[in-house]
Amino acid sequence: MTILFYSEADSAEPWREAFARELPHIAFRVWPDAGPLESVRYALVWNPPRGLLARLPNLKAILALGAGVDPIPTDPTLPKGVPLLRLVDVGFPAQMAEYAIYAVLKFQRRMGELDDLQRRAQWNQLDPFFARDFPVGVMGLGVIGKVVAQRLSAVGYAVAGWARGPKTIENVEVYSARGRLKDFLARSRVVVNALPLTPQTENILDAAAFATMPRGGYVVNIGRGAHLVDRDLIDALDSGQLAGAMLDVFREEPLPSTHPFWRHPKIVVTPHIAAPTIASEVQAQVIDNIRRLERGEPPVGLVDPSRGY
Amino acid sequence: MTILFYSEADSAEPWREAFARELPHIAFRVWPDAGPLESVRYALVWNPPRGLLARLPNLKAILALGAGVDPIPTDPTLPKGVPLLRLVDVGFPAQMAEYAIYAVLKFQRRMGELDDLQRRAQWNQLDPFFARDFPVGVMGLGVIGKVVAQRLSAVGYAVAGWARGPKTIENVEVYSARGRLKDFLARSRVVVNALPLTPQTENILDAAAFATMPRGGYVVNIGRGAHLVDRDLIDALDSGQLAGAMLDVFREEPLPSTHPFWRHPKIVVTPHIAAPTIASEVQAQVIDNIRRLERGEPPVGLVDPSRGY
């Protein structure tokens, strides 16, 4: 029995050690050194190449090394009926909230402009912006978006959320269903994207969305790079329709050094660090999930591949 | 009857208009064009020169244009028995909390280092720091410090507060009395100073305080410049005992362009903007206070000059 590891973003060694210690009866192999493919019972993967999972005839579960599982559900060869599991609440929501709060405060308190003034040793108080003029909209009210919205509200912002279905979250005004997206965008000076990536949400942050937001608005992307139309964002910033953006996720990662986002004066780029995983907690969750599967118990973090989350 | 205005930081014109509209029976004069000094019944001042207030024989109240009143109580010629009033809660606590949360998140999430990496278009995720390793200590638990502490707690930090007397604040561990300062500093990875300036608190952020904090700690000053010993801070940063500081207040303001704080790589300088006053709310509070005094009712924001707050 084998667990097959595939990730270009995570080191395999800590996992090899954890499995040797916790589940010594399962062989740990790192792609492409997979051994006999029919022996692979579990795949522990992040961003696996298309077709890889289809080559494993006795696969019992796919464990994604992330809170999001894309692009796995869009692989047309994805084996049907094999449970797909994602990481659940290993500190992700709180970390995402930290990032979002920092981003909103940075824009509302004009901190980027003050950084520029410090570089010139210039004492200039600027006209203040007030929190009451910065209604924040959180796109996606899943486990992550809900905590992000609640904590932004606790900092003092008027927070609304946009979700597919109706929800009730204290102190958060919920806009649900596609038809209410325009109203949601129109009232949000800052939009924080925490959506899962699905065919319905891809490219949702586009020229039409930016034009619906109030002039001088801001975008924070902690969802996926493919939610955002890169060119449309740059155009909206250059025209003044948007005043700034803070981006943690990109269509291509690492973001190529020639990409215009790096040097755009109104864009803050961070290298996909909004929710750094706490390795020990992730390991504990994956190992616990494999133990559950081995005992025939329901695992944690089951994803519906047709929805993508 | 005259109200005399003195401030080098605030424009007199909006005040002249507000008084003409709301209290037209009181003449509004701006120092040094004070008219007969015996006509001055109210002084509306920020940072007045020593001796100015003593020259007003019929002064009924001193209204400070700030939440802090220093250096007024330390003026040895301050007329005794004249009520000294400060601004109370015109959005100050919430704004101070915004600033403090931003500063703590900036350090905990290594955002300054990520800014530097962006300038070089370098994708480097750095080793993450986690909120659970960043206990925050708030010095001063008055109206401002209490809100700062509570909101930092809501963001997810373990928050302690240090105050002169005992207090109870939900989710905040309170250290009270001078003897507990060492314990408070020793458990605080980040210290946020929100103390009033008094002879007892001047220079409280000194080499001894920094040495008591955990190595690699951070200081955020939203109190007064004279709380901090400038040279000691630079030494603690240069030795690595402290890892960073974000300062909004300084011994001399504007901070002279030659001051080493401006260019120190571990110091973030902001130009006394942590709590920008909402002009309309400040005006409403001052005018309401003068109406109360005219009617013989107790005013809001009475300061005990012997304590200084």
pLDDT in tens, chain B (309 residues): 999 999 987 889 999 999 999 999 999 999 999 999 999 999 999 999 999 999 999 999 999 998 888 888 888 999 999 999 999 877 889 999 999 999 999 999 999 999 999 999 999 999 999 999 999 999 999 989 999 999 999 999 999 999 988 999 999 999 998 889 999 999 999 999 999 999 999 999 999 999 999 999 999 999 999 999 999 999 999 999 999 999 999 999 999 999 999 999 999 999 999 998 777 888 999 999 999 999 999 999 999 877 877
Segment B173-227, tens digit of pLDDT: 999 988 899 999 999 999 999 999 999 999 999 999 999 999 999 999 999 999 9
B116 chain-A contacts, CB cut-off 8 A: none
Note the pLDDT of residue A112.
Answer: 97
Mean pLDDT, rounded, for A276-285 = 84
Of the partner residues B102, B156, B272, the one whose CB lies closest to the CB of residue A105: B102
Question: What's the rounded mean pLDDT across residues A259-274?
Answer: 98
Q: Is the dihedral of CA B16, B22, B24, B26 positive or negative?
A: negative
Q: Which residues of A touch B102 (CB under 8 A)?
A: 102, 105-106, 109, 111
Name chain B contacts of A269, Cβ cutoff 8 Å: 118
Q: How many CB pairs under 8 A join A and B?
A: 112
Mutate to test the interface with B, among A7, A10, A273, A278 (most CBs of B within 10 A): A273
Q: How confident is the model at residue A71 (pLDDT cuts 50, 70, 90)?
A: confident
What average pLDDT does the structure give for chain A? 94
Q: How confident is the model at residue A11 (pLDDT cuts 50, 70, 90)?
A: confident
Mutate to test the interface with A, among B107, B259, B269 (most CBs of A within 10 A): B269
What's the order of all strands across the beta sheet hosting A159-163?
Answer: A172-176, A159-163, A136-139, A190-193, A217-221, A242-247, A267-269
Cα separations in angstroms, A117 against A111, A125, A295: 10, 10, 61
Contact B272 A91 (CB under 8 A): no
Q: What pLDDT score does A276 carry?
A: 86
pLDDT at A198 over 80: yes
Q: What is the reported pLDDT for A297?
A: 94
CA–CA min distance B143, chain A (Å): 16
Q: Do B155 and A101 touch (CB under 8 A)?
A: yes
As a whole number, mean pLDDT of residues A54-80 equals 91
Region for residue B240 given its phi and psi (left: phi exceeds 0; alpha: psi -120 to 50; beta: otherwise): left
Instruction: Select from A115, A269, A272 the Cβ nearest to the Cβ of B125.
Output: A272
Q: How confident is the model at residue A244 (pLDDT cuts 50, 70, 90)?
A: very high
The answer to whether A213 touches A73, Cβ cutoff 8 Å, is no
Rounded to whole angstroms, the Cα distance separating A100 from A174 reads 18
Say whether A224 is catalytic: yes
Residue A307 banded pLDDT, cuts 50, 70, 90: confident
Nearest to B123 among A98, A118, A255 (CB): A255
pLDDT of residue B74: 86
pLDDT of residue B178: 81
Q: What is the model's pLDDT at position A85?
A: 95
pTM for the full predicted model: 0.82
Q: A147-196 pLDDT, tens per residue? A: 999 999 999 999 999 998 899 999 999 999 888 999 999 999 999 999 99
**Rounded Cα distance, A200 and A4, in Å:** 31
| Residue B142 parent element (H or E) | none
Q: Which residues of B are catalytic?
A: 224, 272
Catalytic residue among A272, A291, A292, A307: A272
Distance from CA of A47 to the nearest CA of B (A): 18
Mutate to test the interface with B, among A92, A170, A270, A278 (most CBs of B within 10 A): A270
Contact B118 A151 (CB under 8 A): no
How far A48 CA lies from chain B's nearest CA (Å)? 21
CB B171 within 8 Å of CB B148: no
Q: Are residues B276 and A128, on separate chains, in Cβ contact within 8 Å?
A: yes
B113 → chain A, closest CA residue? A270
Please give the Cα distance from A23 to A292 (Å, whole number). Answer: 12
Q: What is the dihedral angle through the alpha carbons of B55, B299, B21, B27, rounded to the nearest 10 degrees?
A: -20
- Report the phi/psi class of residue B122: left, alpha or beta, with left for phi > 0 and alpha for psi in -120 to 50: beta
- Amino acid symbol at A186: A
For B269, the closest chain A residue by CA position comes to A118
Residue with tokens 């925050």: B136
Query: Chain B: which residues have CB within 8 Å of chain A?
Result: 91, 94-95, 97-99, 101-102, 105-106, 108-109, 111, 114-115, 117-118, 121-126, 128, 130-131, 151, 154-156, 253-255, 257, 262-263, 268-273, 276, 278
8 Å CB contact between A231 and A207:
no
Q: Which of A46, A89, A101 to mutate to test the interface with B (most CBs of B within 10 A)?
A: A101
Closest approach of chain B CAs to the CA of A273, in angstroms?
6
Torsional sign, CA A274, A277, A281, A283: positive
Q: Are strands B302-303 and A242-247 parallel, antiparallel or unpaired?
A: unpaired
Q: Which of A16, A224, A227, A264 is catalytic?
A: A224
Are B278 and A253 within 8 A, CB to CB? no
